[in-house]
């Protein structure tokens, strides 16, 4: 499987000021596969240590001495293989299970900077660690599910992927190719981007009429495994609250008909819990586990956007569009036929949120002011770019027009089922499948 993240890892490897790299992300997004693939392709050897399945085997290595040379010697002795600090990759998987291994990264950076180390783990486990944290001594990379571009990379249609990338540069695309990309996007909306699901789809997509039903079953099983993790890491009572919030997000999303998704409401989600203070624990648990996405709503579109947000006013989405479809039991056939009515608006908005967060290095925001609202605001340099999301080809955007009148943005994007087109110098229609590439679009910052 091809992942864009490999390109980032190669750049990391070649940097002179390289720090140990911590790859974080939700379960099942492919962290282990990514590190091993990187080791296979770009190093003489790689050495993989699993701190979850073999926790008891490796704990003594870090308990006895935190000196890097001693740790390497003991790892080599137990694993019965020599580690070349100049040419090999060291992989610590599920590093949160041995907190002192996380602390040791600091000393590896200080004393053995020539050794390439990748660690992977749950951000939640890292945050909860009681050990000394290597602040400033590690670098982070956030791995998310495959985005639509990566889906195309693995789809098996080289010509379609080339057309996708070439049309992004020219911002023109022939209508037949546009329709084919929209058709492929609908397949992605069913599978989502969890690597196991995408891989299964790619291998079995030819002449398999029951394929999407099998995929829905796999997604349902994956959701069940997440819920088992709630209990494992949060305790029985807390896990019930976390599970309730996780399910309730889909209920609230489904209540948005032909309009932007509204702020998450706290009332009646959990009996006896009122307001943000009562639900902040389960919500932040899910955010830190990267199973949901939080988008703050600002009441002014001025920099810094964070200054115009309140902690308790935000939208919540799922980290994967395929899992959202499974949670709400949306029939795959409805998506393929592009006939899922009231579900379509918030479904496409969730898709856009995923794609945007996969491509930007900053927080994603939404905007509401008086009776106007814009689904997303992204920033580039010192500019704010409003992004309206429309589920079909009917793209009247009154709120966007009000935004343009008030804030006079350099560019304003409308994501929809329509092909590329420009209404005027400011307002540009972009096909939905390019949601993750908005910052690659040419933005004229000259008035």
Given a cut of 70, whether residue 232 has pLDDT beyond it is yes
What pLDDT score does 124 carry?
54
Domains and CATH numbers, the chain: 5-142 (3.40.50.300), 210-440 (no CATH)
* DSSP code of residue 303: S
Q: At what angle do helices 175-191 and 158-170 cross, to 10 degrees?
A: 110
Cβ atoms of 101 and 134 within 8 Å: the answer is no
307: which 2 tokens?
């200054």
Cβ atoms of 245 and 269 within 8 Å: the answer is yes
Cβ atoms of 391 and 417 within 8 Å: the answer is yes
Question: Chain-centre distance of CA 82, in angstroms?
Answer: 36
Which of 230-234, 239-243, 437-441: highest mean pLDDT?
A: 239-243
DSSP for 7-60, written as a single string: HHHHHHHH-TT---EEEE--TTSSHHHHHHHHHHHHSSEEEEEETTTTHHHHHH
Q: What does the pLDDT look like over 289-322, one tens digit per residue?
A: 899 999 999 999 999 999 999 999 999 999 999 9
144: which 2 tokens?
């998310």
pLDDT (mean) for 393-416: 88
Mean of per-residue pLDDT scores for the chain: 91
What pLDDT score does 430 carry?
95
What pLDDT score does 126 carry?
55
Taking the CB of residue 203, how many other CB atoms lie within 10 A of it? 10
257: which 2 tokens?
């008909």
331: phi then psi, degrees, rounded to nearest 5: -60, 130
Q: What is the pTM of this model?
A: 0.93
3: which 2 tokens?
């992942």
Given a cut of 80, whether residue 349 has pLDDT beyond it is yes
Nearest alpha carbon to residue 407 among 433, 380, 387, 384: 384
What pLDDT score does 123 carry?
61
What pLDDT score does 211 carry?
97
Taking the CB of residue 350, how many other CB atoms lie within 10 A of it? 27
pLDDT band at 444 (very low <50, low <70, confident <90, very high): very low
What pLDDT score does 323 carry?
98
Nearest alpha carbon to residue 182 among 349, 439, 431, 420: 431
Give the whole-angstrom CA distance, residue 55 versus residue 262. Answer: 44
In a 13 Å sphere around the CA of 136, the CA atoms on its Cβ side amount to 1
Cβ atoms of 138 and 20 within 8 Å: the answer is yes
């Amino acid at each position: 499987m091809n992942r864009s993240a490999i390109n980032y890892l190669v750049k990391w490897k070649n940097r002179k000021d390289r720090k140990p790299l911590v790859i974080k992300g939700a379960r099942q997004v492919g962290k282990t596969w990514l590190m091993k693939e990187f080791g296979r392709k770009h190093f003489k050897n790689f050495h993989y240590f699993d701190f979850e399945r073999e926790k008891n085997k490796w704990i003594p290595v870090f308990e006895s001495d935190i000196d890097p040379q001693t740790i390497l010697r003991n790892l080599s002795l137990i694993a019965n293989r020599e580690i070349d600090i100049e040419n090999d990759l060291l992989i610590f998987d599920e590093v949160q299970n041995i907190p002192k291994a996380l602390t040791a990264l600091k000393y590896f950076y200080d004393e053995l900077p020539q050794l390439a180390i990748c660690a992977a783990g749950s951000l939640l486990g890292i945050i909860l660690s009681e050990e000394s944290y290597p602040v400033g001594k590690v670098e982070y990379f956030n791995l998310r599910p495959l985005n639509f571009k990566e889906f195309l990379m693995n789809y098996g249609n080289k010509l379609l992927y080339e057309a996708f990338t070439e049309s992004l540069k020219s911002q023109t695309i022939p209508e037949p190719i546009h329709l084919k990309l929209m058709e492929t996007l609908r397949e992605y909306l069913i599978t989502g981007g969890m690597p196991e699901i995408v891989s299964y789809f790619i291998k079995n997509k030819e002449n398999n009429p029951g394929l999407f039903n099998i995929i829905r079953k796999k997604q349902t099983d994956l959701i069940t495994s997440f819920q088992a993790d709630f209990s494992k890491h949060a305790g029985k009572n807390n896990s019930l609250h976390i599970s309730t919030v996780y399910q309730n997000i889909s209920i609230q999303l489904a209540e948005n008909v032909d309009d932007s998704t509204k702020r998450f409401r706290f009332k009646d989600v959990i009996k006896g819990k009122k307001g943000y203070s009562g639900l902040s624990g389960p919500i932040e648990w899910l955010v830190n586990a990267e199973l949901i996405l939080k988008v703050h709503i600002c009441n002014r579109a001025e920099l810094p956007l964070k200054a115009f947000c309140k902690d308790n006013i935000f939208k919540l989405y799922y980290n994967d569009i395929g899992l959202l479809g499974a949670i709400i039991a949306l029939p795959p056939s409805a998506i393929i036929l592009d006939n899922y009515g009231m579900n379509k608006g918030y479904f496409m908005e969730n898709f856009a949120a995923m794609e945007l967060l996969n491509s930007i290095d900053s927080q994603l925001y939404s905007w509401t002011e008086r009776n106007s609202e814009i689904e997303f605001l992204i920033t580039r340099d010192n500019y704010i770019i409003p992004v309206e999301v429309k589920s079909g080809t009917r793209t009247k955007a009154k709120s966007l027009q009000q935004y343009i009148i008030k804030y006079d943005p350099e560019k304003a994007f409308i994501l929809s089922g329509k092909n590329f087109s420009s209404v005027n110098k400011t307002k540009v229609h972009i096909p939905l499948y390019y949601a993750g590439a908005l910052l690659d679009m040419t933005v004229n910052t000259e008035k």
